[in-house]
Structure 1
Amino acid sequence: MASESKTEKPLKLGIIGTGIFAVNNHLPTFEKLPNLYLPWACYNRTKAKAEDFAVKAKISSDKIHDSLESIVSDPDVDVIDALLPVQYNLDVVKLAVKYGKPLAMEKPIAANLDQAREIVKISKENPQLPIIILEQWSYYKAITILKEKLNEIGNVVSFTYKSTGPFYVSNKYLKTSWRAKPEHIGGFLSDGGVHQLALLTGVLGRVSKVSGLTKQVRKQSGADDILYSCMTMENGLIGTFTYGSAFGATKKSCVFEIMGDNGSISFDFTPKRVPTATVLIGANGDVEPKEEVIQIENENSGTLKEFEVFSEALKTKDFTKILSTPEVCFHHLAVIDAALKSSSSGGNAIEVQTP
């Protein structure tokens, strides 16, 4: 961890995994936050990719490392930013603890619940060492807004959550081996599904049971890629959760509806639109309801907000600012795990595991 004097300067980043997402998403974020972060070192299993990234990130050639342990143990590196196939996340966590380096790593938390459970255990045993799972949907402004509106619709009863869309053959991530032959449970269902669950659970709380059916529509997905399910929440709410982008030509549709006995909230977060929450208040359908429309401009859809949060947490030592903790992100993966197990049992209700 950086010393107190160093925290006044940009945190020196050791970037592990220098592929598409590092170049297209993380690097532009760091360029927008030059006072907070400085790309300092990098490592990739394919050294040529690390060398290309180093040029783009203005990293010195002598800071291109040859192994995971080498970059994590680098005394000049303040923080590790890991963008690896998630089956390697546990290895990075163990090294981060060994060398006392704060760690940011991409979601989902791990490839399976055994690995995820061990990451949670290590995190709890080392509370002085912050770990943030880079699940940017946990920081959506919409979560705060929707939660604030819940009490206006009376006793919340149920929800419907739907995120569906067409399959894009041009998807650049289809060519990556960890996507084509996923070792992480559910493939695209967990990789993208944890986004959706961060929003759902951020507003309504944890999922208790799942009864789901999954299917693989596209060979390129490498695993089941659509999910239809019914859920019971820990607070007693019931609802449906539908997710998948493996269909033929269809309009992308992302809508989260919450129903109460005194109204409803409909949140439309379909891409390429301004996210909009429509709140209807009224207990009697015979009477014209009161309507409020809330547009959520500049939603935190990229990686900027989560890295701002991580920097602030490191500088203030207030780790409660980190919402996407290992324990929280374990739950998101555990819901997908329960849905897959439910599907394999013909749709039986499966309890969501805990760490």
Structure 2
Amino acid sequence: MTAPLNIAVVGTGIFATDNHLPTIQSIPNLKVTAAYNRTKAKAEKFAEKAGIDKSNVYDTLEEVFEDDKTDFVDALLPVQFNLDAVKLAIKHNKPIAFEKPIAANLAQAKEIVKLSESTDLPILVLENWAYLKAVSVLKDEILPKIGEVLSFTYRATGPWNDVNKYLATSWRQHPEHVGGFLSDGGVHQLALLTEVLGPVESVSALTRQVHEESGDDDVLFSTFKLTSGAIGTFTYGSAFGATDKSTSFTIYGTNGSIVYDWSPALKTPTITYQVGPSAERSEGKTVIEIENGNTIAEEFKNFAAAVSAKDKSLVNVTPAKAFHHFAIVVAAIESSKKNGDSVKVELP
């Protein structure tokens, strides 16, 4: 049995403690062995929970990447620091996985893409919705049945949660990244949409800020044109009054339609599809229940495979993909400032 990969966790806040640590600990070939945080006391608290020796709590970010015992770095930093972390990773030849969105702005994001393409290092952007089991089922198994994709409706809406523990964090209240809440959560939605239907060419959008605590606009209603020619709507926001949380993705084709619904009210997410060129020539509805599984675990397994094989082609969410998801949000914000005019999605 091969030795587990040693991981240094950088940025030991809420998500690192509540999600990354237990997920990594559940995967046999991974082990958290080092930690760093700008506030060292937080790193020491994380280290105690993770069972890390205090000698492996670093004083500086560069020390993280200098340690030969570390196989890869898991970085959960405010995204304006992602570029610095990627530069250090390349300087010290250390694979890195880092949190979304890819950067604070498109200029930084472009530089990260350029750096990632200049190296053989595996570099992963942590957009775990790309690992939903529904993605491959929709794209590979069902989408071919409904002919040419003509249009779609994507909706992810819900009520405001005023006891959300992330509301008090500075990166949420005072985001330095374009889009704030809309890009922080929106890139997950867009990872799913584009993995299934392909890239977005242009956006017409209107946004608004409902809650001061969001730090920036928190509601987005928009229309997309895909490079495939398909058109559709994309709605995202959890800033409304009391309402049911709804997450659904409907795809319309020349020979049928698909509805993927993973709203929390459902016991199990479902994919419902109909095949046929018209109502009169339909084969009826087929309903599939599909468990989404632990997507955070799947992204770590994916990255571990790439690191072990020293093969960056195995990485699912590359910086180039993550750039596109972020660029869609940036285009939507720009469109809203222009009262909904169509805006091309920038390329890296």
TM-score where L is the length of structure 1: 0.95
Displacement of 1:263: 1.1
Q: Say yes or no: does 1:164 pair with 2:160.
A: no
Offset at residue 289 of structure 1 (A):
4.2
Counterpart of 1:23 in structure 2 is 17
2:299 corresponds to which of 296, 306, 327 = 306
Range with bigger deviation, 204-213 or 257-266: 257-266
Shift of 1:344: 0.3
* Alignment size in residue pairs: 346
Residue 201 of structure 2 corresponds to which residue in structure 1? Answer: 208
Q: Residue 167 of structure 2: SS of its match in structure 1?
A: helix
Residue number among 334, 341, 350 corresponding to 2:334 in the alignment: 341
Residue 140 of structure 1, CA deviation: 1.4
CA drift of 1:12 comes to 1.1
Matched, 1:282 2:276: yes
2:178 equivalent to 1:185: yes
Question: Hey, what's the Cα distance between the residues in 2 that align with 1:324 and 1:241?
Answer: 21
Partner of 1:129: 121
Q: Following superposition, which runs of at least 4 residues in structure 1 exceed 4 angstroms of deviation?
A: none
Distance 2:86 2:41 in 1: 25
Measured in 2, the distance between the counterparts of 1:205 and 1:90 equals 26
The residue type paired with residue 58 of structure 2 is: H
Which region of structure 1 is more displaced relative to structure 2, 146-155 or 241-250?
146-155
The answer to whether the aligner puts 1:143 opposite 2:135 as a matched pair is yes
Matched, 1:71 2:61: no
Give the superposition deviation at 1:16. Answer: 0.4
1:75 Cα deviation from its structure 2 partner: 2.1
Partner residue in 1 for 2:109: 116
Deviation per CA, 1:101-138: give whole Å up to 9, x if none: 00011111111111110000000011x11101111111
Q: What is the aligned partner in structure 2 of residue 50 from structure 1?
A: 43
How far the C-alpha of 1:254 sits from its partner, in A, is 0.6
Q: Is residue 263 from structure 1 mapped to residue 263 from structure 2 by the alignment?
A: no
Q: SS at the partner of 2:48?
A: helix
Cα deviation code 1:159-193 (max 9, x no counterpart): 00000000000111101111110001111100000
Unaligned runs of 5+ in 1: 1-6
Asked whether the 8 Å contact 2:187–2:325 carries over to 1, the reply is: yes
| SS of aligned partner of 1:315 | helix
Q: In structure 2, how many angstroms separate the alpha carbons of the residues matched to 1:319 and 1:99? A: 16
Structure 2 distance, partners of 1:320, 1:75, is 23
Q: Which amino acid aligns with 2:224?
A: M
RMSD after superposition? 1.3
Contact 2:275 2:282 in 1 (8 A): no
Q: 1:272: how far off?
A: 5.2
CA distance in 2, matches of 1:287, 1:236: 26
How much has 1:288 moved relative to structure 2? 5.5
Please give the TM-score of this superposition, normalised by the length of structure 2: 0.97
Identify the residue that residue 82 of structure 1 maps to in structure 2: 75
User: Identity over aligned residues, as a percent?
Assistant: 53
Q: Post-superposition shift, 1:23?
A: 0.5
Please name the residue that 1:292 is paired with: 286
- Deviation per CA, 1:274-332: give whole Å up to 9, x if none: 121000112222456421111112x1444100001111112223332211000000000
Residue 249 of structure 1 is matched in structure 2 by 242
Unaligned 5+ runs, structure 2 = none
Check the 8 A contact 2:122/2:310 in 1, yes or no.
Answer: no
* Match among 238, 241, 244 for residue 231 of structure 2: 238
Which residue identity lines up with residue 253 of structure 2 in the other structure? G
Deviation at 1:94, TM superposition (A): 0.5
Contact 2:131/2:295 (8 A) holds in 1: no
Aligned partner of 2:6 in structure 1 is 12
Aligned to 2:92: 99
The Cα offsets for residues 243-277 of structure 1, whole Å up to 9 and x where unpaired, read as 00000000001110000122100000113531210
Tell me, in whole angstroms, the C-alpha distance in 1 between the residues paired with 2:7 and 2:282. Answer: 56
